[in-house]
Chain A
């Protein structure tokens, strides 16, 4: 099918789809007028019932915790898929990075970049830990904090050279951390079953709202998600870096 026929076909079909889209939108209330009764209930119930002051975290890790577990495993599977696809193929051999432009040295990271990366490392680490552990009080939690934590090791890549980064990135340990994080969520859920309660039901005492331990099992789930997301993002970025920097060429080619 030529591009032209395809575009025409799309425009015709798109018109029909757009009509249904508008028809569906007209059934929604105008923006800003009202929110669902379920949302209002959750907003007023979360603090008294769960001692969690950030309702978004409560929804994610408690009220619809089972769904979030499924989503966490989509993340886990995608990371596994990327690693699987980027493994050295049967007809490829790994080579050390090669200089493509002899006589023209690639400039090392400038001092400005180094100073910035090095000085940002500690604050970012602290901020990541804070975000992971305070999701039940303020906006934050495992998903956001995990990404911030993964950034810390990318600063190592920016500050030094790739070889140092490669040595520091203990691949096995990161993979273990990712699996442990993914398993942690399920284990917290199973703990409730062992204590004869429904899956993922809170089993820990609730500390007063606004403290780190408020929310019972939610901080634990947040922590395990943080570890998994951090390790997962790190694995993804190293997989892409390695694909670009460590040459894989065909055997004998």
Chain B
């Protein structure tokens, strides 16, 4: 595989290691962390797609407008992605706290028979 695919390989690794963690998880907090690892693969993939060798950041406050710059669209996507991830993570952690309060366990396997 060529060097030019490095970020894509990293994104694939993060995606599958996160997925593996979710499938084999024995603890809801561990599972939530795995979701966040899985999601970070999307950041690497997006930034990899938008990168251009030798280009600058897409900020033109002190450089001429026609300077080659990297893709601003994927950077904006990653920015909102991170914000959403943080808040959704908070929501998931809240659910985990409440599950522990109600059922006294965080093992997803022991939660399969959920009482009312």
Which residues of A does B touch, CB under 8 Å?
3, 6-7, 10, 14, 17-18, 21-22, 25, 28, 30-36, 38-39, 42-44, 46-48, 53-56, 58-60, 64, 67-68, 71, 74-75, 78-79, 81-82, 85-86, 137-139, 143-144, 210, 229, 232-233, 236, 239-240, 243
Contacts and interface: CB of A to CB of B under 8 A. Distances in A.
Interface string B47-77: 0111111010111110001100111111110
A54 B58 contact: yes
Given A43-B58, A56-B76, A56-B79, A71 B84 contact: yes
Contacts of A86: 94, 97-98
B-side interface size class? 35 or more
Contact of A28 (B8, B15, B53, B88): B8
B95 A55 contact: no
Given A34-B52, A85-B94, A139-B59, A48 B65 contact: yes
Main SS at interface, chain B: helix
Given A30-B4, A32-B53, A236-B87, A59 B72 contact: yes
B66 A10 contact: no
A35 B55 CA distance: 11
B79 A60 contact: yes
Given A3-B24, A85-B98, A55 B19 contact: no
A78 B84 CA distance: 9
B12 A25 contact: yes
Contacts of A139: 57, 59
A55 B58 CA distance: 6
Main SS at interface, chain A: helix
Nearest to A52: B60
Given A25-B12, A42-B72, A78-B91, A60 B4 contact: no
A6 B93 CA distance: 24
Contact of A53 (B4, B20, B59): B59
Contacts of B76: 56, 59-60, 64
A42 B74 CA distance: 12
A18 B4 contact: no
A10 B2 contact: no
Contacts of A34: 52
Given A28-B49, A78-B88, A81-B94, 18 more contacts: A3-B24, A31-B7, A32-B52, A33-B4, A35-B49, A35-B51, A35-B52, A36-B73, A43-B72, A44-B66, A56-B75, A58-B72, A74-B88, A86-B94, A138-B61, A139-B57, A143-B80, A236-B90
